[in-house]
Structure 1
């Protein structure tokens, strides 16, 4: 097959490209330029997609002896990921930019361009496994290494996209083996730190970054009864489940700490309450996709995962009238609208939806 290897400049994508080459594929490397700030440099393990990463990707491609190109997706990334991130926070929601990037850039825009250019598949360094389903349709499964499993952030992929994707690292038992392989292959990225934090906010100051873009407007912090207990400098700086940075002037009657329960951007109000009130009895959303074949029944048991590193929780899902509703066997903790719920059947990813509505397990008067 003709395979386009998406090379981020890290060790995982470099080894994935090497393995695709070993498998006999005709491989071409491509690095995605997602920012037009040409002088941007990586700071240790913070950030990605920098000029340093592009140079590392080129060196890896040269070592493997494959053609290498840089594709400018900065405008698409700005519109589909960064602007979406700002809009979601402004609406009081908690977005996951990695999900949006996978959905709209790496496995939509890039794959579409690759297929138009005559490639058969896109290869990435994600830790996930593809298997054939009962009827030959592709299925997405968790990686062998649970600590590195990235199936959650890939839950936005459709069956059509999975049919043109390769994940050569999915069966690898540990990241240490990938680094050792890179060292043996003479790849200079063998010991490069993994990137973390939001790539377009490399200093990790999400609150400050958002304030620069949406402004700061003073508002009220209220408890569940509506009583004012404090003030804030901008509702966009808060997310459900947050405890630090509230600066509440009125202590709770029981003296226990309070957490953000809800963000109301229209009134610029933040609602706080006890930790118990974060327990969520049900979630639902209208924007959903299936990773391969859709469930045969409109109601089915599953496991639901609401964060990349959260534990999956047994649940029951109901699909109807364009909405997916999930009721977990035990309450979920600190769920916020805008988060992504990924549904599993064993190790298989069934699909995902963006959470629009949550139902608290604790009545407001309690």
Structure 2
């Protein structure tokens, strides 16, 4: 165990490797921001190698101080543009984690890997830890890439992925919330700038299509990572009864979200089952403690959410926007 002034540093789960690296305060009165310079040195040394750091036992009094901590790393915090799940803005650049019902799990994913633009850094702050469950499992996206069967990986890389989204209609997030505007012209301008095909349907709702990467290369480390949300967007991610009910209500092209190969052909359920099995093998899970702050490199590390009981409040900040088209 390495010891620095006021805190210790060690892998949280050494049997699973170095993700996440635990940085633990020696004194519960140590304010997270008061030792920011020392912590930033640790982040600069370890984030790109280990993928994530967990700051535990420090004092951090509320969302505004969390915002200040995340912003102190030198990049403006990002708005949640072209989001795929319901969230609430807490303070500028800080949002609630996905507001799905407590009994639902959210599979491993890299934030906004369903698009061609994403944050490089993401922070989670556990303000209220659930009575049981509610973990934010993580995984090394480099390891996922290595473990995906080569034939599947090559097929995904050669074909790419096409995400199809239908907004609103009481089935998914309204387009006005996703694009933070009720001006259709602004939506069209955003889509044109980001390589998204948009279509206004007869009922006034919006359908988008975007062809995106299946894997990506980290712009700093050069590491290849599995970087998509095919397993999450695909209709096979839904429980069979939910899947059947939805298809009773709408045609496949009007599903709230779905994903195809980049040429529009269907992705086989069995392929997605194999991908989910790899993600399960790579999952690293640990219980939140109140006051924990988890910082991840969003390309090197994926994250998820486990079902929970009792109140839970985890808030999120993102920074350092990156575009696949800039690679």
**Which structure has the higher relative contact order (CA within 8 Å, separation 6+)?**
2
Q: The TM-score by the shorter chain falls in which range? A: under 0.3
Structure index of larger Rg? 1
Relative to the length of structure 1, the TM-score reads: 0.22
